[in-house]
Amino acid sequence: MIRIYNTLTQQKEEFRPIEPGKVRMYVCGMTVYDYCHLGHARVLVAFDVVTRYLRHRGYDVNYVRNITDIDDKILRRADENGESYTELTDRMIKAMHEDEARLGVLSPTEEPRATAFISEIVAMIQTLITGGHAYAADNGDVYFAVDSFDGYGKLSKKKLEDLLAGARVDVQEAKRSPADFALWKSAKAGEVSWPSPWGDGRPGWHIECSAMSTCCLGDTFDIHGGGPDLLFPHHENEIAQSECATGHTFVNTWMHAGAIRVNKEKMSKSLGNFFTIREIMEKYPAEVVRYFLVSSHYRSQVDYSEENLAEAGRTLTRLYHALRGIVPAKAADVQVSEHDERFAEAMDDDFNTAGAIAVLHAVANEINQHRRDGREEDAKYSAAILVRLGGVLGLLQQDPEAFFQADTGSELSADDIEALIQARADARKGRDFAEADRIRNDLADKGIILDDSREGTTWRRA
């Protein structure tokens, strides 16, 4: 039985999907006005691991992750760039898909975009108005009336009276109470807009997710996830909208990833410690970044630093070293082992990836021991287990040589290195050992390590 920590009840609960064998999961995706940053990478990888593990345990997972492709930040950035908002969002969606692929994040089953759901969003707002949960202001905005929903604050454990204390309504806004939030925003002159019963405008951010999730997954679904900053107000508002519109429980299990810090500080542009995923993947192989993220529990706070990334690189290298030069046994020939059971025990406990990775290292140690003992077949068998379990975490699926040779901005290409290795072999053949050593040392200075064996010379990046 899988146990998941539910933010709503603040405890680990046995996971029982609504429909046996099937999981319906929604995760709030990116607002596509810029490249994905490290915090996005954490959420992407965390729910990728959840999806992979649930599938590994035999569930049919319908994973929906939306794209917010219209909002203030998008319009502002497009304006600054002198491009249309769709040119900007198309470019950023393409970049996001590239980043995901490099991080080994599987595509969600469905990836709905807000602008493709305007009529569903308008219909939901209409339902809320009819039910007395929302009101149209004179300026064409529509607001959700927070005091119309008794359950407001149940996710974030905030009390409405505390939210109202000291809050004031901006004179620009037409809402009745400071805690009310916009469902529909009337268009300013020249802005992109869609027609609605309240005039031309565009949807608020919160209503998008309520409309898209219920359209794709039904009124009630199993898991809703997102980053830690979305818990309030975004997810609280989603619950209010959806439960008032449908009259049903919105979500059974709420999952939130932990925060990411950079050198023990909050990551922010003003502190100059803000990194996009692509900046980080220029310095470190993508799989090392993924390993770094997966090696901590998804709810824990993670600290990004050069030191921690270097450590992730070293430990992942140990796993690949165990696989180097071995052709794993055929997957079909490999039974469920004690390692599989220990791995499942860790992952069943609220996706304890740190415990699961400890199992991978135990398997790697076993492979190394088999090799030392000359038991090649046993080593191949254990290698197949390591690759199988690594795959559940989205790790260890590369050819070890490709991992060792991954280029992260070094001055030497693989072709350059192969040519130098050939030159060194020629020098040795001609008994010019001084030249052969010079080439070897020269490569070492550039971070290329040569490993000689009977089969020839292989190389890896340090």
Helix-helix angle 205-217:236-246, to 10 degrees = 50
Q: Which residue number, 164 or 231, has a Cβ lying nearer to Zn ion?
A: 231
Whole-angstrom distance, CA of residue 434 vs CA of residue 446 = 19
Whole-angstrom distance, CA of residue 223 vs CA of residue 59 = 13
Of the candidates 253, 351, 345, 342, the residue with the CA atom closest to the CA atom of residue 300: 351
Q: How far is the CB of 230 from Zn ion (least distance, A)?
A: 6
CA dihedral defined by 170, 172, 173, 176, rounded to 10 degrees?
A: 60
Q: Which residue number, 209 or 294, has a Cβ lying nearer to Zn ion?
A: 209
Q: Which residue number, 232 or 405, has a Cβ lying nearer to Zn ion?
A: 232
Q: How far is the CB of 302 from Zn ion (least distance, A)?
A: 22
Q: Which residue number, 2 or 207, has a Cβ lying nearer to Zn ion?
A: 207
Tokens 């970044």 correspond to 289
Q: Which residue number, 204 or 313, has a Cβ lying nearer to Zn ion?
A: 204
The number of beta carbons lying within 10 Å of the beta carbon of residue 229 is 12
Q: Which residue number, 209 or 448, has a Cβ lying nearer to Zn ion?
A: 209
Q: How far is the CB of 420 from Zn ion (least distance, A)?
A: 52
Q: How far is the CB of 263 from Zn ion (least distance, A)?
A: 29
Of the candidates 36, 17, 37, the residue with the CA atom closest to the CA atom of residue 25: 17
Q: How far is the CB of 158 from Zn ion (least distance, A)?
A: 18
Question: In the 8-state DSSP scheme, what is residue 6?
Answer: E
Of the candidates 294, 298, 293, the residue with the CA atom closest to the CA atom of residue 350: 298
Q: How many helices (DSSP H) and strands (DSSP E) are in the chain?
A: 16, 15
Cα-to-chain-centroid distance, residue 64: 13
**Residue 63, beta-bridge partner list:** 25
Q: How far is the CB of 403 from Zn ion (least distance, A)?
A: 35
Q: How far is the CB of 238 from Zn ion (least distance, A)?
A: 6
Tokens 């390692």 correspond to 339
Helix-helix angle 38-56:376-392, to 10 degrees = 120
Instruction: Characterise 140 by phi-psi region: left (phi > 0), alpha (psi -120 to 50), beta (else).
Output: left
Q: How far is the CB of 188 from Zn ion (least distance, A)?
A: 24
Contacts for 415 with CB less than 8 Å, ≥ 6 apart: none
Q: How far is the CB of 206 from Zn ion (least distance, A)?
A: 7
Interface residues with Zn ion (CB under 5 A)? 28, 209
- C-alpha pair distances (Å), 289 with each of 51, 83, 295, 422, 447: 19, 32, 10, 33, 20
Judge contact between 253 and 15, C-beta under 8 A.
yes
Q: Which residue number, 155 or 396, has a Cβ lying nearer to Zn ion?
A: 155
Whole-angstrom distance, CA of residue 50 vs CA of residue 23 = 11
Judge contact between 258 and 300, C-beta under 8 A.
yes
Whole-angstrom distance, CA of residue 424 vs CA of residue 9 = 65
The number of beta carbons lying within 10 Å of the beta carbon of residue 42 is 23
Q: Which residue number, 239 or 389, has a Cβ lying nearer to Zn ion?
A: 239
Q: Which residue number, 99 or 238, has a Cβ lying nearer to Zn ion?
A: 238
Q: How far is the CB of 28 from Zn ion (least distance, A)?
A: 3
Q: Which residue number, 31 or 196, has a Cβ lying nearer to Zn ion?
A: 31
Q: Which residue number, 7 or 295, has a Cβ lying nearer to Zn ion?
A: 7
Q: How far is the CB of 225 from Zn ion (least distance, A)?
A: 10
Q: Residue 451: in which H helix or E strand, if any? A: strand 448-453
